[in-house]
């Protein structure tokens, strides 16, 4: 029964052909076989206290450890929150519980969602289920690895600059970043508040639609949440007739990985075969996305992470010194290298004398990037790119060079800055540079704000035409 997608399982349960309790139990056993370091906490006794589900009625789910869960450890991948048990549950998780989805466990992640390889977790890196010498991507690496590796039927993660889409691409699954505001951020530990968005990591597009339908909606506890205008329906579109897809040449001319380029171009041909129209579009400011993002996100993070000061929750160090010494020591011992780097970068960008040159200028670039997309969408329905410049890279390969790591987000950051929805679907396999077993390549489709239904419909049609059915060794299909 683990071969079923979440939608198939849901339909089988509704038809009385599948016992929800037995199904949840089977997944619980599968999750217990985690050999990827993907779970930080598992719901072993099936209880979970405050996050327990009375009567399971939908597929159990893995939750990124950035979501607060009442009474259940929540670390955001950081030592500073080691042992923290929040007094309340995030709205997104509460919606899952109310929908009858048992929580399988909390998944490993880059510390405070800062990273593209999951190597920034204080609890060790997650391994890619396709090749254990490689990274699963990040920051939702644990959530992507459990779905790709057969340790959960589906999962939720968060995406600030690509943290759902890039790991989904590297693990051969579907990842959707909804429009900013579609899903409540209440109880989602903040990284960069104007960019953070919760979303699904699933085996296929229909599962992503079902999960989005559960998660989306305005929440009085998050005044930036507005929900979608219409509840998403399961997609069943079979062609792409009348739909116009734009390739942003300013971005895609920077795809140099031959295998990624080949899969990308083959997918464009499939779009045409399905009746879709292809065209080129210019997003002249998108290539500055990384620069703007690595000012805005660290600036917001430096402010959000000021709360970890050893006073109200989490660890405390240096209690024998004065107050400032306690703050400095707690943060020195509690945060990892990447989080420190971003706090420093953000504090610098916001400091007196540099604010206008960095933060102000980056926010103007953000305006231009959003305007570029608006112009593109006057003529086109979607903008398409590869999700990531390369397939999964080796553990340790990019850790010494922060900038090289940041450039993994090259294709995903512009959409985040524009606040628009974007999905990554698996489009094929490609041999990594330097050789080795073939690895998944993701295809990214972006749509105008709140156009999730059209995005899911088109992605579904394309997904059927691609027919991606490869799985990592030892993982059963779906």
Partner 1 sequence: MASGGGAARLDLETAPRIRRVIDREQVLHVARLARLGLTDAEVETMAGELSGILEHVDRIAALDLDDVEPTSHVVELENVLRADVPHESLPKDVALASAPDPVDGAFRVPSPQAE
**Residues belonging to the active site:** 64, 139, 163
* Residue 374 beta carbon to partner 1: minimum distance, rounded to whole angstroms: 11
Of 130, 264, 358, 460, the one binding partner 1 by CB under 8 A:
358
Decide if residue 52 touches partner 1 (CB under 8 A).
no
CB of 389 vs partner 1, minimal distance in Å: 4
Query: Among the candidate windows 8-16, 95-103, 176-184, 230-238, which touches partner 1 by CB under 8 A?
Result: 176-184
For the chain, how many residues are written?
478
Among 20, 92, 190, 365, binds partner 1 (CB under 8 A): 365
320 CB contacts (<8 Å, ≥6 apart)?
none
| Complete edge-to-edge strand list for the sheet that includes strand 103-107 | 39-42, 103-107, 61-64, 154-159, 197-202, 174-177, 422-430, 439-446, 382-386, 244-248, 277-281
Q: Does 362 bind partner 1 (CB under 8 A)?
A: yes
Out of 52, 231, 273, 306, the residue judged to bind partner 1 by CB under 8 A: 306
Sites for partner 1 among residues 265-294 (CB under 8 A): 285, 287-288, 290-292, 294
CB of 340 to partner 1, least distance (A): 6
Interface with partner 1 (CB under 8 A), residue from 38, 449, 455, 462 = 449
Q: Which is nearer to partner 1, 165 or 270 (CB)?
A: 165
Interaction between residue 112 and partner 1 (CB under 8 A): no
Subset of 369-408 contacting partner 1 (CB under 8 A): 370, 389-390, 393-394, 397-398, 400-408
Residues touching partner 1, count (CB under 8 A): 93
Rounded-to-integer distance, Cα 41 and Cα 38, Å: 9
Pick between residue 27 and residue 294 the one whose CB is nearest to partner 1: 294
With tokens 């999962």, the residue in question is 155
| In the complex, minimum distance from the CB of residue 420 to partner 1, in angstroms, rounded to a whole number | 8
Contact with partner 1 (CB under 8 A) among 136, 157, 161, 181: 181
Buried (b) or exposed (e) across 90-120, using 16+ Cβ within 10 A? bbbbbbbbebbbbbbbbbbbbbbbbbbbbbb
Number of neighbouring beta carbons within 10 Å of residue 271: 23
Which of these segments, 149-157, 337-345, 421-429, 468-476, binds partner 1 (CB under 8 A)?
Answer: 337-345
Residues 70-99 touching partner 1, rule: CB under 8 A, are: 84-88
Residue 20 or 417: which CB sits closer to partner 1? 417
Stretch 227-256 residues interacting with partner 1 (CB under 8 A)? 254-256
Rg value, the chain, Cα = 21
Pairing status of strand 103-107 against strand 61-64: parallel
Residue found by looking up tokens 């992503």 in the block? 208
Asked whether 200 and 158 are in contact (CB, 8 A), the reply is no
- DSSP SS3 for 112: helix
Task: Give the residue with the Cβ less far from partner 1, 65 or 309.
Answer: 309
Pairing of strands 103-107, 154-159: unpaired
Give the nearest distance from C-beta 233 to partner 1 in angstroms: 22
Measured from the CB atom, the residue of 86 and 153 that comes closer to partner 1 is 86
Query: 57 or 224, CB closer to partner 1?
Result: 224
Interaction of residue 295 with partner 1, rule CB under 8 A = yes
Write the CB contacts of 318 (distance below 8 Å, at least 6 apart in sequence). Answer: 310, 325, 326, 328, 329, 330
Q: Which is nearer to partner 1, 50 or 475 (CB)?
A: 50
Sole binder of partner 1 in the list 29, 367, 431, 477 (CB under 8 A): 367
Q: Closest approach of Cβ 431 to partner 1, in Å?
A: 12
Report the alpha-carbon angle 156-62-409, nearest 5: 40
**Span 186-225, contacts to partner 1 by CB under 8 A:** 194, 220, 223-224
Q: What angle, 0 to 180 degrees and rounded to 10, lies between the N-to-C axes of helices 205-215 and 452-466?
A: 160
User: Which lies closer to partner 1 via its Cβ, residue 46 or residue 394?
Assistant: 394
With CB under 8 A as the contact rule, the residue among 25, 99, 433, 471 that binds partner 1 is 433
> How many degrees, rounded to 5, is the angle at CA 195 between CA 192 and CA 196?
75
**b/e map of 235-266 (b: 16 or more CB within 10 Å)?**
bebeebeebebbbbebbbeebebebbeebbee
Q: Which of residues 132-171 bind partner 1 (CB under 8 A)?
A: none
The residue to which tokens 């703007």 are assigned: 292
Main-chain dihedrals φ then ψ at residue 83, nearest 5 degrees: 85, -5
Specify the residue for token string 């890619």. 128
């Amino acid at each position: 029964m683990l071969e079923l997608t979440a939608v198939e399982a849901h339909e089988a349960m509704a038809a009385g052909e599948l016992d929800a309790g037995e199904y949840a139990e089977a997944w619980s056993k599968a999750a217990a076989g985690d050999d990827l370091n993907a779970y930080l906490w598992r719901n072993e006794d099936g209880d979970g206290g405050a996050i327990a589900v009375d009567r399971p009625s939908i597929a159990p789910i893995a939750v990124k450890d950035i979501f607060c869960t009442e009474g259940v450890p929540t670390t955001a991948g950081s030592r500073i929150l080691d042992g923290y048990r929040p007094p309340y549950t995030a709205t997104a998780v509460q919606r899952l519980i109310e929908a009858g989805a048992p929580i399988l466990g909390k998944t490993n992640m880059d510390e405070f969602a800062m990273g593209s390889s999951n190597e920034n977790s204080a609890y060790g890196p997650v391994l890619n289920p396709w090749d254990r010498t490689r990274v699963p991507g990040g920051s939702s690496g644990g959530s992507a690895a459990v779905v790709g590796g057969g340790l959960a039927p589906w999962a939720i993660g968060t995406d600030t600059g690509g943290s759902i889409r890039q790991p989904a691409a590297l693990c051969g699954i579907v990842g959707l970043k909804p429009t900013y505001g579609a899903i409540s951020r209440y109880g989602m530990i903040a990284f960069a508040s104007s960019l953070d968005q919760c979303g699904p990591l699933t085996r296929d597009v229909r599962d992503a639609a079902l999960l989005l339908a559960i998660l989306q909606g305005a929440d009085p506890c998050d005044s930036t949440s507005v929900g979608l205008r219409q509840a998403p329906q399961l997609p069943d579109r079979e062609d792409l007739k009348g739909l116009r897809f734009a390739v942003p040449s300013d971005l895609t001319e920077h795809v140099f990985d031959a295998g990624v380029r080949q899969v990308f171009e083959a997918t464009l041909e499939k779009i045409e075969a399905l009746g879709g129209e292809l065209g080129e579009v210019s997003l002249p400011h998108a290539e500055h996305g990384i620069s703007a993002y690595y000012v805005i996100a660290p600036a917001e993070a430096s402010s959000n992470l000021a709360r970890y000061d050893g006073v109200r929750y989490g660890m405390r160090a240096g209690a024998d010194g004065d107050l400032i010494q306690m703050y400095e020591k707690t943060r020195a011992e509690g945060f990892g290298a990447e989080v420190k780097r971003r706090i420093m970068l953000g504090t610098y960008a916001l400091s007196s004398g540099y604010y206008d040159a960095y933060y102000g200028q980056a926010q103007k670039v953000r305006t231009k990037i959003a305007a570029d997309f608006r112009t593109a969408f006057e003529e086109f329905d979607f903008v398409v790119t590869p999700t990531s410049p390369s397939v999964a890279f080796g553990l340790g390969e990019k850790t010494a060079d922060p900038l090289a790591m940041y450039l993994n987000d090259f294709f995903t950051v512009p959409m985040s800055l524009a606040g628009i929805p974007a999905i990554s679907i698996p489009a094929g396999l490609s041999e990594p540079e330097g050789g080795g077993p073939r690895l998944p390549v993701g295809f990214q489709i972006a749509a105008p704000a709140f156009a999730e239904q059209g995005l899911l419909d088109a992605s579904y049609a394309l997904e059927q035409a691609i027919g991606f059915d490869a799985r990592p060794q030892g993982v059963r299909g779906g």
